[in-house]
Protein backbone atom coordinates (compact mmCIF):
# COMPACT_ATOMS: atom_id res chain seq x y z
CA UNK A 1 0.00 0.00 0.00
CA UNK A 2 1.16 3.48 -0.84
CA UNK A 3 1.06 4.89 2.68
CA UNK A 4 3.23 2.09 4.07
CA UNK A 5 6.20 2.63 1.76
CA UNK A 6 9.30 3.96 3.43
CA UNK A 7 11.11 6.89 1.86
CA UNK A 8 13.68 4.53 0.39
CA UNK A 9 10.93 2.33 -1.04
CA UNK A 10 9.24 5.30 -2.67
CA UNK A 11 12.47 6.38 -4.31
CA UNK A 12 13.32 2.84 -5.34
CA UNK A 13 9.89 2.11 -6.80
CA UNK A 14 9.55 5.44 -8.61
CA UNK A 15 12.98 4.95 -10.16
CA UNK A 16 12.26 1.32 -11.07
CA UNK A 17 10.69 0.19 -14.31
CA UNK A 18 7.69 -1.83 -15.42
CA UNK A 19 4.87 -2.71 -13.06
CA UNK A 20 6.73 -1.66 -9.89
CA UNK A 21 7.15 1.87 -11.20
CA UNK A 22 3.63 1.98 -12.61
CA UNK A 23 2.13 0.98 -9.26
CA UNK A 24 4.20 3.57 -7.41
CA UNK A 25 3.21 6.32 -9.83
CA UNK A 26 -0.47 5.36 -9.55
CA UNK A 27 -0.26 5.42 -5.74
CA UNK A 28 1.55 8.75 -5.77
CA UNK A 29 -0.95 10.26 -8.16
CA UNK A 30 -3.80 9.17 -5.89
CA UNK A 31 -2.13 10.85 -2.90
CA UNK A 32 -1.48 14.04 -4.85
CA UNK A 33 -5.10 14.14 -6.00
CA UNK A 34 -6.23 13.83 -2.39
CA UNK A 35 -3.89 16.65 -1.35
CA UNK A 36 -5.26 18.91 -4.11
CA UNK A 37 -8.85 18.02 -3.21
CA UNK A 38 -8.08 18.65 0.44
CA UNK A 39 -6.97 22.18 -0.40
CA UNK A 40 -10.03 22.69 -2.61
CA UNK A 41 -12.36 21.40 0.13
CA UNK A 42 -11.03 24.12 2.45
CA UNK A 43 -11.51 26.79 -0.20
CA UNK A 44 -14.79 25.97 -1.91
CA UNK A 45 -15.65 29.68 -1.99
CA UNK A 46 -13.01 30.09 -4.70
CA UNK A 47 -15.06 27.92 -7.06
CA UNK A 48 -18.44 29.60 -7.11
CA UNK A 49 -20.15 28.99 -10.42
CA UNK A 50 -18.35 25.71 -11.08
CA UNK A 51 -20.06 22.35 -10.72
CA UNK A 52 -18.56 19.30 -9.08
CA UNK A 53 -17.28 17.79 -12.33
CA UNK A 54 -15.46 21.00 -13.23
CA UNK A 55 -13.90 21.23 -9.79
CA UNK A 56 -12.86 17.57 -9.96
CA UNK A 57 -11.30 18.19 -13.36
CA UNK A 58 -9.22 21.03 -11.92
CA UNK A 59 -8.10 18.79 -9.09
CA UNK A 60 -7.13 16.07 -11.56
CA UNK A 61 -5.12 18.64 -13.54
CA UNK A 62 -3.34 19.80 -10.38
CA UNK A 63 -2.54 16.20 -9.43
CA UNK A 64 -1.12 15.51 -12.87
CA UNK A 65 1.01 18.68 -12.87
CA UNK A 66 2.19 17.91 -9.35
CA UNK A 67 3.08 14.36 -10.32
CA UNK A 68 5.26 15.63 -13.16
CA UNK A 69 6.92 18.18 -10.85
CA UNK A 70 7.61 15.54 -8.19
CA UNK A 71 9.08 13.09 -10.71
CA UNK A 72 11.25 15.83 -12.21
CA UNK A 73 12.57 16.82 -8.80
CA UNK A 74 13.07 13.42 -7.17
CA UNK A 75 16.79 14.10 -6.85
CA UNK A 76 16.01 17.21 -4.75
CA UNK A 77 14.38 15.15 -2.01
CA UNK A 78 16.72 15.49 0.99
CA UNK A 79 15.06 12.96 3.25
CA UNK A 80 14.33 15.50 5.99
CA UNK A 81 10.64 14.62 5.96
CA UNK A 82 8.40 11.79 4.92
CA UNK A 83 8.51 11.45 1.16
CA UNK A 84 4.77 11.93 0.95
CA UNK A 85 4.92 15.17 2.98
CA UNK A 86 7.51 16.46 0.53
CA UNK A 87 5.31 15.41 -2.41
CA UNK A 88 2.06 16.81 -1.01
CA UNK A 89 3.42 20.34 -1.05
CA UNK A 90 3.64 20.30 -4.85
CA UNK A 91 -0.04 19.41 -5.12
CA UNK A 92 -1.05 21.97 -2.51
CA UNK A 93 0.98 24.65 -4.29
CA UNK A 94 -0.72 23.91 -7.60
CA UNK A 95 -4.14 23.66 -6.01
CA UNK A 96 -3.73 27.06 -4.40
CA UNK A 97 -2.68 28.67 -7.68
CA UNK A 98 -5.65 27.10 -9.49
CA UNK A 99 -8.13 28.08 -6.78
CA UNK A 100 -7.00 31.70 -6.65
CA UNK A 101 -7.04 31.96 -10.45
CA UNK A 102 -10.65 30.81 -10.40
CA UNK A 103 -11.64 33.26 -7.68
CA UNK A 104 -10.02 36.29 -9.30
CA UNK A 105 -10.80 35.60 -12.94
CA UNK A 106 -12.36 38.61 -14.59
CA UNK A 107 -10.95 41.07 -12.06
CA UNK A 108 -8.76 43.76 -13.60
CA UNK A 109 -5.71 44.14 -11.39
CA UNK A 110 -4.62 47.06 -13.57
CA UNK A 111 -7.70 48.96 -12.51
CA UNK A 112 -7.30 47.99 -8.88
CA UNK A 113 -3.69 49.05 -8.80
CA UNK A 114 -4.11 52.38 -10.53
CA UNK A 115 -7.49 53.62 -9.32
CA UNK A 116 -7.14 53.18 -5.63
CA UNK A 117 -3.96 54.89 -4.55
CA UNK A 118 -6.05 57.62 -2.93
CA UNK A 119 -8.04 54.97 -1.05
CA UNK A 120 -4.80 53.49 0.22
CA UNK A 121 -3.79 56.85 1.64
CA UNK A 122 -7.22 57.35 3.21
CA UNK A 123 -6.85 53.94 4.80
CA UNK A 124 -3.40 54.87 6.03
CA UNK A 125 -4.67 58.03 7.65
CA UNK A 126 -7.64 56.44 9.43
CA UNK A 127 -7.04 56.68 13.14
CA UNK A 128 -8.23 53.48 14.81
CA UNK A 129 -6.56 54.04 18.16
CA UNK A 130 -9.01 54.51 20.98
CA UNK A 131 -8.61 55.53 24.58
CA UNK A 132 -5.05 56.76 24.14
CA UNK A 133 -3.52 60.02 25.20
CA UNK A 134 -2.73 63.01 22.99
CA UNK A 135 0.96 62.10 22.84
CA UNK A 136 0.19 58.68 21.42
CA UNK A 137 -2.32 60.11 18.99
CA UNK A 138 0.37 62.49 17.75
CA UNK A 139 2.85 59.60 17.41
CA UNK A 140 0.31 57.61 15.38
CA UNK A 141 -0.35 60.57 13.11
CA UNK A 142 3.36 61.09 12.54
CA UNK A 143 3.84 57.41 11.76
CA UNK A 144 0.99 57.38 9.25
CA UNK A 145 2.29 60.53 7.58
CA UNK A 146 5.75 58.98 7.36
CA UNK A 147 4.41 55.77 5.84
CA UNK A 148 2.58 57.80 3.23
CA UNK A 149 5.64 59.88 2.46
CA UNK A 150 7.85 56.80 2.02
CA UNK A 151 5.26 55.12 -0.19
CA UNK A 152 4.96 58.19 -2.38
CA UNK A 153 8.59 59.23 -2.57
CA UNK A 154 10.83 56.25 -1.88
CA UNK A 155 9.09 53.17 -3.26
CA UNK A 156 9.53 52.30 -6.90
CA UNK A 157 6.43 52.14 -9.05
CA UNK A 158 6.55 48.33 -8.98
CA UNK A 159 6.97 48.19 -5.22
CA UNK A 160 4.04 50.57 -4.79
CA UNK A 161 1.90 48.58 -7.20
CA UNK A 162 2.53 45.29 -5.42
CA UNK A 163 1.93 46.92 -2.06
CA UNK A 164 -1.42 48.36 -3.17
CA UNK A 165 -2.55 45.06 -4.66
CA UNK A 166 -1.42 42.74 -1.88
CA UNK A 167 -1.69 44.82 1.28
CA UNK A 168 -4.59 47.11 0.48
CA UNK A 169 -6.67 44.87 -1.80
CA UNK A 170 -5.44 41.53 -0.42
CA UNK A 171 -4.94 40.14 -3.91
CA UNK A 172 -3.33 36.71 -3.55
CA UNK A 173 0.36 36.39 -4.31
CA UNK A 174 -0.17 34.03 -7.27
CA UNK A 175 -2.55 36.42 -8.99
CA UNK A 176 -0.05 39.26 -8.63
CA UNK A 177 2.62 36.92 -10.01
CA UNK A 178 0.42 36.18 -13.01
CA UNK A 179 -0.46 39.85 -13.47
CA UNK A 180 3.19 40.89 -13.52
CA UNK A 181 4.33 37.87 -15.53
CA UNK A 182 6.95 36.99 -12.95
CA UNK A 183 7.39 34.52 -10.08
CA UNK A 184 6.76 34.40 -6.33
CA UNK A 185 10.37 35.14 -5.46
CA UNK A 186 10.34 38.39 -7.42
CA UNK A 187 7.04 39.56 -5.93
CA UNK A 188 8.19 38.65 -2.44
CA UNK A 189 11.38 40.64 -2.99
CA UNK A 190 9.40 43.70 -4.10
CA UNK A 191 7.34 43.52 -0.92
CA UNK A 192 10.40 42.84 1.21
CA UNK A 193 12.24 45.82 -0.23
CA UNK A 194 9.15 48.00 0.35
CA UNK A 195 8.95 46.86 3.98
CA UNK A 196 12.65 47.59 4.50
CA UNK A 197 12.23 51.12 3.14
CA UNK A 198 9.18 51.71 5.31
CA UNK A 199 10.94 50.38 8.40
CA UNK A 200 14.08 52.43 7.86
CA UNK A 201 11.98 55.50 6.99
CA UNK A 202 10.24 55.24 10.35
CA UNK A 203 13.50 54.60 12.19
CA UNK A 204 15.18 57.58 10.53
CA UNK A 205 12.46 59.80 11.94
CA UNK A 206 12.80 58.30 15.40
CA UNK A 207 9.46 56.51 15.27
CA UNK A 208 9.48 53.25 17.20
CA UNK A 209 6.97 51.00 15.52
CA UNK A 210 6.90 48.58 18.45
CA UNK A 211 5.50 51.32 20.68
CA UNK A 212 2.84 52.10 18.14
CA UNK A 213 1.76 48.46 18.01
CA UNK A 214 0.91 48.56 21.70
CA UNK A 215 -1.84 51.03 20.82
CA UNK A 216 -3.60 48.16 19.05
CA UNK A 217 -2.68 45.40 21.43
CA UNK A 218 -0.81 45.80 24.72
CA UNK A 219 1.02 42.52 24.07
CA UNK A 220 2.51 44.29 21.00
CA UNK B 1 -11.26 44.44 9.38
CA UNK B 2 -9.38 47.31 7.86
CA UNK B 3 -7.86 48.08 11.24
CA UNK B 4 -6.79 44.44 11.67
CA UNK B 5 -5.16 44.49 8.27
CA UNK B 6 -3.36 47.70 9.05
CA UNK B 7 -2.11 46.32 12.34
CA UNK B 8 -0.92 43.13 10.64
CA UNK B 9 0.91 45.19 8.05
CA UNK B 10 2.60 47.26 10.77
CA UNK B 11 3.73 44.05 12.47
CA UNK B 12 5.16 42.82 9.18
CA UNK B 13 7.11 46.06 8.80
CA UNK B 14 8.26 45.87 12.41
CA UNK B 15 9.53 42.29 12.02
CA UNK B 16 11.22 42.88 8.67
CA UNK B 17 14.77 41.54 8.49
CA UNK B 18 17.52 42.79 6.20
CA UNK B 19 17.89 39.27 4.83
CA UNK B 20 14.86 37.06 4.34
CA UNK B 21 14.64 33.76 2.52
CA UNK B 22 12.69 33.57 -0.76
CA UNK B 23 9.46 31.70 -1.41
CA UNK B 24 11.45 28.98 -3.21
CA UNK B 25 13.73 28.48 -0.23
CA UNK B 26 10.70 28.33 2.03
CA UNK B 27 9.05 25.79 -0.27
CA UNK B 28 12.17 23.63 -0.16
CA UNK B 29 12.10 23.52 3.64
CA UNK B 30 8.43 23.61 4.53
CA UNK B 31 8.03 19.83 4.58
CA UNK B 32 10.95 19.60 7.01
CA UNK B 33 9.36 22.38 9.08
CA UNK B 34 6.10 20.40 9.30
CA UNK B 35 7.88 17.19 10.32
CA UNK B 36 9.83 19.01 13.04
CA UNK B 37 6.58 20.44 14.37
CA UNK B 38 4.93 17.03 14.27
CA UNK B 39 7.80 15.54 16.28
CA UNK B 40 7.03 17.97 19.11
CA UNK B 41 10.07 20.19 18.59
CA UNK B 42 9.68 23.91 18.06
CA UNK B 43 10.33 24.50 14.34
CA UNK B 44 10.78 28.24 15.00
CA UNK B 45 13.97 27.36 16.93
CA UNK B 46 15.25 24.78 14.48
CA UNK B 47 14.28 26.64 11.30
CA UNK B 48 13.92 30.32 12.30
CA UNK B 49 14.31 31.72 8.81
CA UNK B 50 11.49 29.55 7.52
CA UNK B 51 9.31 30.67 10.43
CA UNK B 52 10.16 34.30 9.67
CA UNK B 53 9.17 33.86 6.02
CA UNK B 54 5.92 32.11 6.95
CA UNK B 55 5.05 35.05 9.20
CA UNK B 56 5.57 37.48 6.32
CA UNK B 57 4.18 35.60 3.32
CA UNK B 58 0.46 34.75 3.32
CA UNK B 59 0.74 32.42 0.32
CA UNK B 60 3.51 30.29 1.81
CA UNK B 61 1.73 30.37 5.17
CA UNK B 62 -1.50 29.02 3.72
CA UNK B 63 0.38 26.23 1.95
CA UNK B 64 2.19 25.40 5.18
CA UNK B 65 -1.04 25.29 7.21
CA UNK B 66 -2.69 23.02 4.66
CA UNK B 67 0.33 20.71 4.57
CA UNK B 68 0.52 20.60 8.37
CA UNK B 69 -3.17 19.78 8.73
CA UNK B 70 -3.06 17.14 6.01
CA UNK B 71 0.03 15.58 7.58
CA UNK B 72 -1.66 15.53 10.98
CA UNK B 73 -4.66 13.71 9.51
CA UNK B 74 -2.31 11.20 7.91
CA UNK B 75 -0.48 10.68 11.21
CA UNK B 76 -3.80 9.99 12.92
CA UNK B 77 -4.76 7.50 10.18
CA UNK B 78 -7.56 9.80 9.03
CA UNK B 79 -6.28 10.88 5.62
CA UNK B 80 -9.53 11.43 3.68
CA UNK B 81 -10.09 9.29 0.60
CA UNK B 82 -10.80 10.71 -2.83
CA UNK B 83 -14.48 9.79 -2.37
CA UNK B 84 -14.65 11.47 1.04
CA UNK B 85 -13.23 14.66 -0.42
CA UNK B 86 -15.35 14.53 -3.55
CA UNK B 87 -18.45 14.30 -1.39
CA UNK B 88 -17.53 17.58 0.29
CA UNK B 89 -17.92 19.39 -3.03
CA UNK B 90 -21.52 20.53 -3.44
Tens of pLDDT, residues A9-47 = 999 999 999 999 999 999 999 999 999 999 999 999 999
pLDDT recorded at residue A216: 64
Residues in B closer than 8 angstroms to A96, CB to CB, are 59, 62-63, 66
Of the candidates A136, A115, A189, A120, the residue with the CA atom closest to the CA atom of residue A158? A189
| Residue B59 to residue A80, Cβ atoms within 8 A | no
C-alpha R_g of chain B: 16
Alpha-carbon distance B48 to nearest alpha carbon in chain A (angstroms): 16
The answer, as to whether pTM is greater than 0.90, is yes
The answer to whether the CB of A88 falls within 8 A of the CB of A31 is yes
pLDDT recorded at residue A127: 61
Alpha-carbon distance A184 to nearest alpha carbon in chain B (angstroms): 6
Q: Which of A:27-86 have CB within 8 Å of B?
A: 30, 33-35, 37-42, 44, 52, 55-56, 76, 78, 80-82, 84-86
Handedness of CA A50, A55, A61, B70 (dihedral sign): positive
pLDDT tens for each residue of A139-164: 888 888 999 999 999 999 999 999 99
> Cα A178 from chain centroid?
12
| Residue B35 to residue A81, Cβ atoms within 8 A | yes
Mean pLDDT of the A123-137 span: 69
pLDDT recorded at residue A135: 78
Predicted-complex ipTM score:
0.95
pLDDT recorded at residue A136: 75
Amino acid sequence: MSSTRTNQEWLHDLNASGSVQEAAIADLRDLLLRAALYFFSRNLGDFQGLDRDEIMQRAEDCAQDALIAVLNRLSDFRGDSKFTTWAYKFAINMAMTAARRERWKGVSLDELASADKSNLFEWLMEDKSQGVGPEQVAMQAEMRATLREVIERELTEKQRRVLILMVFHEVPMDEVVRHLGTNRNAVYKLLHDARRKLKSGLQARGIEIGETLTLFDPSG
Amino acid sequence: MKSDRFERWLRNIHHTQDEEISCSECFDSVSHFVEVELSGEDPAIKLPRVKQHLDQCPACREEYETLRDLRNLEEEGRLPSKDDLQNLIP
